[in-house]
Structure 1
Amino acid sequence: MTAAPLQDKSRAGKPRILVLGGGSGGLELASQIARQGDFETVLVDRQPAHVWKPRLHEVAAGTVATSLAEISFYLLANLRGFHFEQGEVVEIDRDARRVTLGVMTDTDGRELAAARTLDYDICVVALGGKTPDFGTTGVAENAVRLDGPEDAEAFRRRFIAKMIAARETGLPAEVVIVGTGATGTELAAHLRRSERGFRREQVGGGGGKLLSVTLIEAAPQIMPGIDDDLRAQIVQRLRALDVKMVTDAEISEVTPTELRTVKGETWPSDLTVWAAGLAATPLLKRLSDFEVDGKGRIVVDERLRSTVDSRIYVLGDSAAFTPPGEERPLPPTAQTASQQAAHLAKALPDVLKGKTPPPFRHEDKGRLVSLGRAGTVGRVGFSRRDDLLIKGTFALAAYHGLERQHQWRVLGRLRGSVAILADLVSPAKGPALKLHAD
């Protein structure tokens, strides 16, 4: 017989804003609204620490060197003034305004903490997304998807083992990445940089090649959706890094040793990464009776409220928000989540006072590519559609500004500046290619 969840007895008469999910959007929101007014802010996440998702590929490749690569939610809660509850969300009871967190267990299935419930006055769903396999045979069993820090760590362990074997045998490790979005493209560049750490320098010259990296894309061109000028710049740098690029190749099966396409082509693979797009976490469909779109995201109105309950807001990868006049929802990027978090940080305190929040307005800030010593290029968005292609120092500063803003929002101006300074004086060098589309 399953025990009833422990009832929420922590409230002290104050209204509560409950934020479900500590990704870039959820954490920025909780950090910005904590201590704003006479209400309680509670953040929920199943992990004990925050990793900024646009940097998961760096964690996977072992090239990350930043004070914000991973930071404890418990520490952040103490610094910023919100409460943190670790656990996995399993249900939202809209009538009771209550969220249930499941039983916490260890790796052997032993219970560590009982199921709990948390009451709310306003609930914000920010549970992120997952990489879909599109029903492709063998993906779940034989490929790695970089959806969370545990995936990145699992990949890194396997990558190290393959590189050690390559160094001993002299046969390059074959790494194949399916999908040429930000995650796949950036990972390819970081793996090439990581290769240098495994080489044994020889007298009279460097060590041999230990790694073969292949990017596979189902579309006719890599990075579908970007303009041709920016794509040409990225392709040039990837070729300089000796990254193979294969297009118009739809994968039909992933095995432990190779990939197969619907056309019958095959590619050998010692380690396969599946980075083919992003969809909402399947959990959203089970939480409550939300209206969801074809990708499983919760449909929201112009104020980011769910269509079935005005007390439940949704942001980031969990939300399907279609701007007025547009045909499609906004893409699931960190840029979108951050803007929605900033909007709700201003709107939700007013909602608790009985005011109606203004509509959310999205500003497309474009796409930036930092190419290490080869320079930086990018496409910066304005209010019009004639975006500006920028290069050099200005583009590099704009790219770094995106992550700095995240650090400031999470840590505050003072502590964020300290973290930024630590990054600047770090002895680690940047990657050969750095793409930021989020």
Structure 2
Amino acid sequence: MTSKILIVGGGAGGLELATRLARKIGRQRWGKPAQAEITLIDRNPTHIWKPLLHEVATGALDSGLDEVSYSSHAKQHGYQFRRGEMVGLDRERRCVTLAAVEDDEGHTLLPERELAYDQLVLALGSVSNDFGTPGVKDECYFLDSPLQAEAFRKAMLSTFLQHGQDNRPLSIAIVGGGATGVELSAELFNASRMLHSYGVTSLTDAQMHLHLIEAAPRILSMLPERISQAAHQELTGLGVDVHTATRVTEATSTGLKTETEGEIKADLKVWAAGIKAPSLMAQLDGLEVNRQGQLKVLDTLQSEGDPHIFAIGDCAACPQPDDQWVPPRAQAAHQMADALYVNLRRLSQGKMLKPFRYRDRGSLVSLSHFDAVGSLMRNQSTRSLVVEGTLARLFYISLYRLHQKAIHGWLRTGLLMLVDGLNRFLKPKMKLH
């Protein structure tokens, strides 16, 4: 009997898992029926690698060129795609409920539906955590999805145009000194220079005031201090005002109020401080979540309360030896997708599931074309290898290519690399419309 595997969430982990399962057990082989029916669910029609959203937000990356159509990809690789947002779970009947899909005018395109499963995989990722700070939801932009990144890009273009015409200084504030905030800071300076070179605005670097605000004592606190200091120096060299040990208490229409520095004036405000699991995770028919809303899972990636439900990526709280937990990072989602692929195959063969062990491969941060910094973990017994400059930039780019290889294969990835190289000569260096 063909089992039904539902994967909710088409981010890096979910899409990679659906692709691998479909290739191996989702197709007929040598006249034998498929072992499983693989279905991927996402509320969006297209996929884009989340670590690239800061480039979408500044126009450095045209999402229309790099996004992947789920429907087309599903047809090519042998799984089914169902568009919709999961809004309910019935564990007794083993089915999920998808909300109706509407167009921009509110017309129903797809009605509310139920989909049955034998195994359910939750790969819902994470969203920004505003920690209940007053005004943030109304006054700040977020970069949790392509739609939010596009909304910021349009606001950025309009604001640069208006201030350029009036020759008024422009102030932008980014809350959160993690990878997203640091990378966005550098990309914004690159965007400012590109807009100036294309004649969109007359603003110069001196007229743009960019604030990076971090509550911790240093930016990039998850990386070695040497890397944090190198990134700090690079940003201040560009002209970024880096505020560390500074907690935001309120967002207003004119700026951000802080505990120690008063109000920091800002025309555009971005919130990239902290993450949490989507609110849906707290409504999973009695399954237990932690304080961050992540589903509690065993080291086999099965939920603690239901062996038919699994979770991977940022939405999963997965224990590791020595009372450690899997961190919410892109490489963790990739590794968990690989591990769950093996376990779902073992489950279909009646074998015991293998425990997942996270391996830290290091971290890399891109500072636009100005620089890149990071550390590479060599093994468990030696110190990490610090990399900077061109070498770090090449390693950073390779992470995206590895994701493309996982969902497309080597041949198509090679062709995409060729097309990207040609587009660097044929198209503008940033999206201007």
Assess same fold via TM > 0.5.
yes
Q: Does 1:289 align with 2:286?
A: yes
SS in 2 for 1:284: helix
Distance 1:207 1:261 in 2: 28
Amino acid at match of 2:412: R
Distance 1:383 1:401 in 2: 23
Distance 1:298 1:292 in 2: 4
Amino acid at match of 1:117: E
Distance 2:198 2:40 in 1: 49
After TM superposition, list the pairs within 5 Å mapping 1:79-94 onto structure 2.
Answer: 79-94=76-91
How far off its partner does 1:128 sit? 1.0
Give the structure 1 partner of residue 12 of structure 2: 24
Distance 1:108 1:66 in 2: 23
Q: Does 1:331 align with 2:319?
A: no
Give the structure 2 partner of residue 165 of structure 1: 162
Q: Is the alpha carbon distance of 1:193 and 1:375 closer, same or farther for their aligned partners in structure 2, counting shifts above 3 Å?
A: closer
Q: Does 1:70 align with 2:67?
A: yes
Give the structure 1 partner of residue 21 of structure 2: 33
SS in 2 for 1:177: strand
C-alpha contact 1:144 1:274 (8 A) present in aligned 2: yes
Amino acid at match of 2:48: V
* TM-score, structure 2 as length reference: 0.91
Distance 2:84 2:423 in 1: 34
**Unaligned residue ranges in structure 2 (runs of 5+):** 26-34
SS in 2 for 1:426: helix
After TM superposition, list the pairs within 5 Å mapping 1:116-127 onto structure 2.
Answer: 116-127=113-124
Query: How far does the alpha carbon of each residue in 1:190-242 deviate from its partner, in whole angstroms, 9 at most, with x for none?
Result: 1111112322689xxx9634522110011121222221111111112112221
Which stretches of structure 1, 4 residues or more, deviate above 3 A after TM superposition? 65-68, 206-210, 369-377, 391-397, 428-431
How far off its partner does 1:281 sit? 0.6
Give the structure 1 partner of residue 96 of structure 2: 99
Distance 1:423 1:67 in 2: 13
Give the structure 1 partner of residue 345 of structure 2: 349
Distance 1:323 1:130 in 2: 23
Give the structure 1 partner of residue 416 of structure 2: 419
Q: Is the alpha carbon distance of 1:374 and 1:86 closer, same or farther for their aligned partners in structure 2, counting shifts above 3 Å?
A: closer
Query: How far does the alpha carbon of each residue in 1:78-132 deviate from its partner, in whole angstroms, 9 at most, with x for none?
Result: 1211100000101121111111111222234332221111111111000111101
Give the structure 2 partner of residue 234 of structure 1: 231
When the two structures are aligned, how many residues end up with a matched partner?
415
| Identity percentage of aligned residues | 38
> 1 or 2, which has the higher helix percentage?
2
Distance 1:316 1:430 in 2: 35
Amino acid at match of 1:15: S
C-alpha contact 1:177 1:215 (8 A) present in aligned 2: yes
Of 332-341 and 422-431, the range deviating more from structure 2:
422-431
For the aligned residue pairs, the C-alpha RMSD in angstroms reads 2.2
**Unaligned residue ranges in structure 1 (runs of 5+):** 1-12, 432-438
C-alpha contact 2:246 2:261 (8 A) present in aligned 1: no
Q: Does 1:299 align with 2:296?
A: yes
Distance 1:194 1:374 in 2: 12
How far off its partner does 1:141 sit? 0.7
After TM superposition, list the pairs within 5 Å mapping 1:173-322 onto structure 2.
Answer: 173-199=170-196, 208-209=204-205, 210-263=207-260, 265-322=262-319
Of 26-35 and 219-228, the range deviating more from structure 2:
219-228
SS in 2 for 1:174: strand
